[in-house]
Amino acid sequence: MENLSPICLFVYNRIDETKQTINALKANHLAKRSDLIIYSDGYKNSIDRELVIEVRSYLREISGFKSIIIRESEINKGLAQSVIDGVTDVFISYKCIIVLEDDLVTTPNFLDFMNQALKTYSLKNNLMSINGFSIDVGQDNMSEKKDVFFHNRTLSWGWATWKDRWSKEMFDIDKIKSEINDKTLFAFRKKCGDDISRMLLDSLSGRNDSWYVRWVFRHFLEKKLALFPCYSKIKNIGYGEHATHCKTIDVLKTSYDNEFLQFFNFPEKPETDPLINKRFLSYFSYNYKFWFRISLIFKSKGLAMLFKDVKLKLFRSN
């Protein structure tokens, strides 16, 4: 496979997670033929300083890729600005990109899947992004086995896109504010999930540092789709109280790829399936999230997880 997409990895202060992410990525079939570009964000405080230095020291020891470029920020940009600036910067030299963060463990065929999807749909402008992570939408019970499905809501845990479907301006907060109203937010929520409109408003007000929800909004506004593998090529290891953006409970059910096949069947026309749409959106409904948390009461360590989750939500609301 020629002209492989570069891998853009964003890291901060988590040495253990970063090592797991890199080691899994190195085990990919296409790693040695892929360019790796790493963006290391600057530290926020004196405590993070030593951790960031430790991560950067490790990064200089990495091998196993076609080329490795490390770009260290002297200031703390935060995840949103780091991703927006970094991806925009990579597109100066490349036509497509694969993006990871420092808490995502990939399967050995992750790069195969992403590169093949990018090549297959390079001219399909109604498709805006490719996802490596996926939600269990009941594929084991489907009469027709598929490798992929499509949805209007993209995710952010291992993804890819093309230069002609990305611009820094689409993340501009003032621009988005001018594009939303009650009708738009209602339609956005109906199409992309119960939680999404609140996430967008929180991003615009500065209550969260999410580039991702603005990316989802652009998919929605331009009526574009995202592609997902039926079996996830990504495992998120970043949930927990020490995580920057995934402190809450992981409610998503996932079926992971255990076969590691290197070739995939991609339908010619990207289009959604009503049944899969319903199953996909069910994970983002308030009703599902409520009962999922109630179920934790009956599980080992569930009450402790539930207590931390409630405490975090109360803290955020104050």
Distances (CA, A) of 287 to 76, 85, 124, 254: 37, 36, 35, 19
Integer angstrom CA distances of residue 162 from 28, 118, 245: 21, 8, 25
| pLDDT at residue 168, rounded to an integer | 96
CB 229 within 8 A of CB 78: no
Q: Which of 110, 193, 222 is nearest to 159 (CA)?
A: 110
What phi and psi, each to the nearest 5 degrees, are found at residue 224? -105, 160
Interatomic CA distance for residues 316 and 318, integer angstroms: 5
Q: What pLDDT shows up at residue 245?
A: 45
Is 7-284 assigned to CATH 3.90.550.10?
A: yes
Six token digits for residue 196: 């999404």
The structural domains of the chain, with segments of one domain joined by +, span 7-284, 286-318
Q: Hey, how many other C-beta atoms are within 10 angstroms of the C-beta on 136?
A: 17
Which ranges constitute the DSSP H helices of 195-285? 196-205, 212-221, 274-282
Residue 156 is predicted with a pLDDT of 95
pLDDT of residue 242: 46
Enter the DSSP assignment of 4. P
Which phi-psi region, left, alpha or beta, contains residue 216 (left: φ > 0; alpha: ψ -120 to 50)? alpha
Nearest to 233 by CA among 114, 317, 314, 316: 114
In order along the chain (318 residues), what is the average pLDDT of each group of 10 residues? 89 97 98 98 96 98 98 96 98 98 97 98 97 90 82 97 97 96 97 96 93 98 97 87 52 89 96 94 84 67 59 50
Question: Burial code of 96-127, b = ≥16 C-beta within 10 A, e = fewer?
Answer: bbbbbbbbbbbbbbbbbbbbbbbbbbeebeeb
